[in-house]
Amino acid sequence: MISSTCETLTFTVRRKDPELISPSKPTPHELKFLSDIDERLRFHTPVIQFYRNNGNDDNIVIECRTSDPVDVIRKAIADALVFYYPFAGRVRETPYGGKLVVECIGEGVMFIEADADIRLDQFICMDALKPPFPCSDELLYIAPGSGDVINCPLLLIQVTRLLCGGFILALRLNHVISDAQGLHQLMVAIGEIARGSGSPSVLPVWKRELLNSHEPLSIPNRDYDLVHESRIVSLPFDQNQRVQHTFFFGQQEMTSIKKLLPPHLRTCSDFEILTACLWKCRTTAFNLDSKEDVRLFYTVNGRGKDRLNLPVGFYGNALFYGMAFSTAEKLCKNPLGYTLDLVIESKKKLLNTETVGDGNATMKKKMFRSWIAFMTNYALAGSHYFVTDATRARLAEVDYGWGKAVYGGIMKANSLPNPEERCFYIPFENSKGEYGILVPLSFPLECMKKFVIEVGMMAIQPPGRGCNQSQTFKKLIASAL
């Protein structure tokens, strides 16, 4: 039993001992090799879902509402693992250059049953449920001996009942076996089985050999962990005073940003426009030396006929890395259109196989080249901004029988080292029914103050006559801190 206090929110979480959930039927005992892309992602990712007791969705299965969510989900996991049995295995490191394999032994995923003496509505800050969530470490307990990538459960799931009858499902994913969209596919399968289906509507496909390079990636082993190892970062402010804040960008905010662009750039995608806006605002807020190199890294999903043409059901890592670069002075002094052009050109270079200089490069070759470029440049000095686009992994839409989640996405902005360099794009519907993108960020205090003002000047409609713009920004800063 752990008592937790987060500012004014205090609650107690009572957990049972961790257990292992194995597939409900016998599954193959075999070795499955991971892809060259899987190999590069040796870290864990935590996500969380919040569910009400009684939604208004007519499609909710009534039997599930009156059942114990812990029992329903526990059984559904066991049944889903019959199809997704590699998740019940363990990652092993082979003597062949440290190559990783999954040993499918049916040992199971780790599961924790818990109860908390708190209601769902107590988690809601302002007008929406969004990260950072108080006392998240108690909602996803990392059992001793389960935290390594090798020889440990690939999934850790904790289901916590709430006083209101709702519940929270938090999980930690070993990233080597799946990306966010692959995880979404698994969670949808668990939800379908929890609601009475005998099998998933989309059957899983392993096929990791499709994403193996036939040429060495010419990156030494020490760079495997660059994605999540701490870099030495020089910042002008005290990093110990780091704060978290989550920004929402809906139609109104995106319209305001587009007004700052020349007409021919206003039709660009929301991802491109938002990424350019936040990269520019962050660079300005961090008050960098004018000559310092600034680099943008962003993930691109490789699924789809126009990309890697992977089979339906593939749930491995299928990520490209795009990269754009400039200097702090150019990014800060030029208009937003300059930054957006950098993003657009980098994306064209990444996805267009007919780009001059690429010859007959296939999309698969370009994916591996993007990884080499990413790992090479991420190791260099300079200010880096890393965007993970998780808008296709709609975890809030997963239904275990209690309707859609109130929130589904990452737990907090600082779950990985160097959080001031990272951000996630999460699909979100706010309390007004507006759809948009949620962006949790973790910056040093002084950087966050400046960042809020920079974003406010771009994303907020100018106040009407008689309004005080400085007061508007003061309210923004207060809400962020």
Residues with catalytic function: 175, 399
Beta bridge partners, 157, equal 111, 171
Find out whether 159 and 113 touch, Cβ atoms under 8 Å: yes
Distance CA 317, CA 207 (A): 11
Phi, psi of 386 (to 5 degrees): -115, 115
Distance CA 193, CA 78 (A): 10
Q: In sequence order, what are the residues at sequence separation of 6 or more whose Cβ sits closer than 8 angstroms to the Cβ of residue 263?
A: none
Rg (CA), the chain: 23
Q: How many other C-beta atoms can be found within 10 angstroms of the C-beta atom of residue 127?
A: 10
Q: How many other C-beta atoms can be found within 10 angstroms of the C-beta atom of residue 65?
A: 17
14-32: buried (b, 16+ CB within 10 Å) or exposed (e) per residue?
ebeebeebbbeeebeeeee
3-state secondary structure of 431: coil
Distance CA 189, CA 186 (A): 5
